[in-house]
Structure 1
Amino acid sequence: MRRPIYDDRERTDLSPQRNDETSFAFFNRAGGSQWRHSRTLHQEWADRLHGRDYAEVRAALRADDAKARSAFLELYLHECLVRGGHEVVIHPELDHTSRRPDFLASRETRRVFVEAIAPGSSPSDIAAANRMKVLLAVLDQVGDDNFFLMTNSITQARSSAPAKIFREQIRKWLAALDPDSVDTDDLPTRTFEQNGWSVDITAIPVKRDSRGNVRRSIGIYAHAEAQFIDDGAKLVAAIKTKARRYGHFEAPFVIAVGTATFDEDDEEVFNALYGSVSWVLDGHNPGEELTSRGVRNRDGYFGSPGAWKNRRVSGVLIVDQLSLHDPTHSRVSLWVHPDPLYPLPSEPMFPGVIHEWNGESTDKREALDARKLLGLADDWPQGHRWQTD
């Protein structure tokens, strides 16, 4: 008998996910009745797998968040294909290479190969994020009954954070403050520095009738700095790592990319696939009014009208914000190549929407309803997050 994803145990811990806690660790101990439905769903989906495939997915879901996110993306795609009436072969053998794509989905006489990727962070970014998680987890344990904290700014060093030292310093600082005499228009703020690290904290008084019931010390996370992230470049880089990995398919080929950053207007995805926009100024003669017009560049992954490229990839499936708690909330969109070597079936294969080139832009049509496809009720998951039934 194979082992389940989550341990068979009594769950009474009703606290939210901690800063340094993996998704598996949280789901494995969370006592809220709502989380039970998520665990059951994960197990039901995984139970469709057999042998080594099940063992690999189970191990990945129990690992760090990067591995779990990638494994859950594959599990989600597999479930969508199976429930959509496809016969699915996991890691099918190919005649021309020893490498194996994630899925071969067949329905009637049509076949589609599907490959998934969930782009991760660089090792240095992962290390920095882990250092930050450890620091925040310790600061969350300050445990003052009268104040909660707002993190205004945090400056990292390359070494581990002196988290426990900061925690003790903050405790002493808060102990000297009177929550009833604090000026709410000028809240007490202090910067703590140690070993190249700097933490700027504001103390916010807890309401009188809530004192003594504080579970977590950090109430407001305001330390994240605004930064420019080129999501389009990341998307194209992810597609390129998979596009030629398996050589030539004599069938449609879809690359599914799990993302967590794209805006709802889809502009970055459109620009990445069909070309970025440059603005040209018209009206250079004296007395002429200057006007501007957008010109689409030929740097899109799919190319441009009359010069389409990368035609082996029939479509790119964006699975954005896929949640282990409720996968039906994910924003899913299939972007169809305008001139692929092997066109995709006209019938939808996945939830969300389908973008198809119309000569100037893309038309958008509805695909499948996620809840209906996955067999989940409108009010799923039932229960309570922070209490048992």
Structure 2
Amino acid sequence: MPLFEPSTTPAGQRPKRYGESIYAYYRDSERPGVVAIRDLLEVWFLEVPLDEQLDLQQRFRSPIERHYRSAMFELFLHHLLLRCGFQLEFHPDVPGVQRHPDFLVSREGQELFYLEAIAVSNSVREEVETNRMNQVYDVLNGLASPDFYLGMRLEGAPATQPAGARLRRELGVWLATLDRQAIQQSYLEERYEDVPVYEWEHDGWRIIFEPMPKGDAARTDPSVRPLAMAMAMPMQARQLRLDEALKDAVAKKDRYGRLPLPLVVAVQVIDEFRIDRIAVMDGLFGPEAIGVNAQGLERPGRVPDGAWVSPAGPRHRTISTVMAWSTLDPWTFTSIEPIVAHNPYASIPLPTDTLPVAQHVVDNQRDLLVLQAGVSMEQLLGLARDWLPGD
């Protein structure tokens, strides 16, 4: 059973369209890098037991990005753990519990821990809004604009589907009135206030379009897309709040009661920005703060509002360890390292020598987090950092 179905609509060498699903583009593209991605993922898929392949395949092929991302993450984790020398059982039975974790992880016949995987992304409403915007971007990329790229400053999101074709016509009329040489001179002399803009609004979504003169080669190349870049305006920038996302993910996976083994939760945070250590620790242990003792001396500490601690004390103690990843794509498999932290209040701690990756452990004597060195993704996956061929 293959992971990818045969393509009936080859995409040649073109880039991915905004509204195109990731799976559909990987299936149809003939670019060397994408062909290498397909080949690698098919090899990984063959490692999955036959009775688990259909479910994983269907979710991987979904046009809904969060379903695809979840399946990709599961496939990645399965291969990574196999490469680390573990054996995996899908959806194992847990004594006294009807639910089934994603994996039971063993080594040489010894059961070591359960693993739950979750991809945390924007809400369904935000995903619908993004799909509406992507449809407009794809229509605008069909605009005939030999002289200019279009930069975009964005505010808000559309509550209903905009008429992209009408906007494209309006922009075409506007662009035809512009003087390319004069605008180019304004950029060269850094007189940005002299660059004309086109403002457009639709049902809660506002875009300011800025013309950016093309170079001579791009002016004669019809394959060059006019949309150059999009930037959210600061007052309306929407970012996934990592601390809340991690707390929600941990709470969602704390559903097994007392377990006979440690429980590891692997979280992939789907966001355009990479997560960092500080944000992960704030989400797990509570935000950093400065406290004052009885003598009036300042002392660093944390607000007790994390996944593992509340004003009432420790919580979610069945979860032993969290492994947090930024958004994983094939070209970032070897460049993104997980941020791993052990729960100091865990009912059943995971031994710190179980996982080969770098991990954060609480030193109770010094009351601080200590980073324990580990092996890189590049080494664990057996892939070079630049493993994808160029186009």
Task: Please tell me the TM-score bracket, short chain as reference.
Answer: 0.7 to 0.9
- Alignment CA distance shift 1:90-1:67 (3 Å): same
Residues in 2 aligned to 1:77 and 1:166: alpha-carbon distance in whole angstroms: 43
Q: Bigger CA drift: 74-83 or 256-265?
A: 256-265
Q: Per the alignment, do residues 282 and 251 of structure 1 end up closer, same or farther by CA in structure 2, a change over 3 Å counting? A: closer
Structure 1: segments with no counterpart, 5+ residues: 285-289
The answer (yes or no) to whether the contact 1:38–1:326 under 8 Å persists in 2 is no
- 1:114 Cα offset (Å): 0.3
Q: Does 1:220 align with 2:229?
A: yes
TM-score when normalising by structure 1: 0.87
Native 8 Å contact 1:12 1:30 kept in 2: yes
Deviation digits for residues 88-120 of structure 1, max 9, x if unmatched? 101112231232110001113342100011123
Counterpart contact for 1:146–1:212, Cα < 8 Å: no
CA gap of 1:346–1:193, structure 2 versus 1, over 3 A, is: closer
1:295 and 1:4 map into 2 onto residues whose CA distance is 48
Which of 172-181 and 33-42 deviates more? Answer: 172-181
* Superposition map of 1:1-20 within 5 A: 2-7=1-6, 13-20=12-19
Q: Identify the match of residue 203 of structure 1 among 192, 197, 211.
A: 211
Deviates more, 1:163-172 or 1:35-44: 35-44
Quote the offset at 1:44 in angstroms: 1.0
CA contact (8 A) 2:317 2:345 kept: yes
Distance 1:192 1:350, change over 3 A: same
1:93 equivalent in structure 2: 93
Aligned to 1:192: 200
Whole-Å separation in 1 of the counterparts to 2:201 and 2:240: 29
Aligned-pair CA distance for 1:263: 5.5
Bigger CA drift: 33-42 or 195-204?
195-204
The structure 2 residue matched to 1:377, chosen from 377, 384, 387, is: 384
Matched, 1:174 2:179: no
- Matched position secondary structure for 2:149: strand
Shift of 1:25: 1.6
Q: CA deviation at 1:315?
A: 0.7
Give the Cα separation in 1 of the matches to 2:89 and 2:347.
Answer: 22
Q: Equivalent residue for 2:244?
A: 233
Q: Which moved more, 1:80-89 or 1:226-235?
A: 226-235
1:296 positional shift: 2.0
Residue equivalent to 1:344: 350
- SS where residue 325 of structure 1 aligns? helix
What is aligned with 2:359?
Answer: 354
Please tell me the residue identity of whatever aligns with 1:372: Q
Shift in Å, 1:319? 1.7
Q: C-alpha root-mean-square deviation of aligned residues, in Å?
A: 2.8
Deviation of 1:226 after TM superposition, in Å, equals 2.9
Structure 1 residues 199 and 306: CA distance shift in structure 2, 3 A: closer
TM-score between both structures, scaled by the size of structure 2? 0.87
Are positions 1:332 and 2:338 aligned together? yes
User: Partner amino acid for 1:255?
Assistant: V
Q: Does 1:163 align with 2:164?
A: yes
* Equivalent in 308, 316, 325 of residue 302 of structure 1: 308
Tell me which moved more, 194-203 or 208-217.
Answer: 194-203
Amino acid at match of 1:342: I
8 Å CA contact 2:305–2:311 kept in 1: the answer is no
> In the alignment, is residue 80 of structure 1 matched against residue 80 of structure 2?
yes
How many residues matched? Answer: 376
Instruction: Give me the whole-angstrom Cα distance separating, in 1, the residues matched to 2:25 and 2:133.
Output: 18
> Could you tell me which amino acid in structure 2 is paired with residue 256 of structure 1?
A
Structure 1: distance between partners of 2:257 and 2:248? 18
For the residue of structure 1 that corresponds to 2:154, the secondary structure is strand
Change (3 A) 1:123 1:8: closer
What corresponds to 1:24 in structure 2? Answer: 23
Q: Distance in 1 between matches of 2:261 and 2:115?
A: 11
Alpha carbons of structure 1 residues 45 and 136: separation in structure 2 relative to 1, 3 Å = same
- Return the offset for 1:229: 4.6
CA separation of 1:196/1:68 partners in 2, compared to 1, >3 Å: closer, same or farther?
Answer: closer
CA contact (8 A) 1:348 1:368 kept: no
What is the Cα deviation at residue 368 of structure 1? 2.4
Contact 2:257–2:318 (8 Å) recurs in 1 = no
Look up the SS of the partner of 1:166 in the other structure: helix
Worse-matched range after superposition: 186-195 or 159-168: 186-195
Task: Report the alpha carbon displacement of residue 283 of structure 1 after superposing the two structures with TM.
Answer: 11
- Deviation, structure 1 residue 350: 5.2
Return the letter of the residue paired with 2:32: S
Give the deviation of 1:34 after TM superposition.
1.6
Q: One-letter code of the match for 1:299? A: D
Q: Which segment drifts farther, 206-215 or 133-142? A: 206-215
AA partner of residue 169 (structure 1): E
Q: 1:122 to 1:357 in 2, by over 3 A?
A: same
Q: 1:106 to 1:306 in 2, by over 3 A?
A: farther
Aligned with 1:380: secondary structure? coil
Gaps of 5+ in 2: none
Residues 309, 380 of structure 1: CA spacing in aligned structure 2 closer, same or farther, 3 A cutoff?
same
The alpha carbon displacement at 1:304 in A equals 8.1
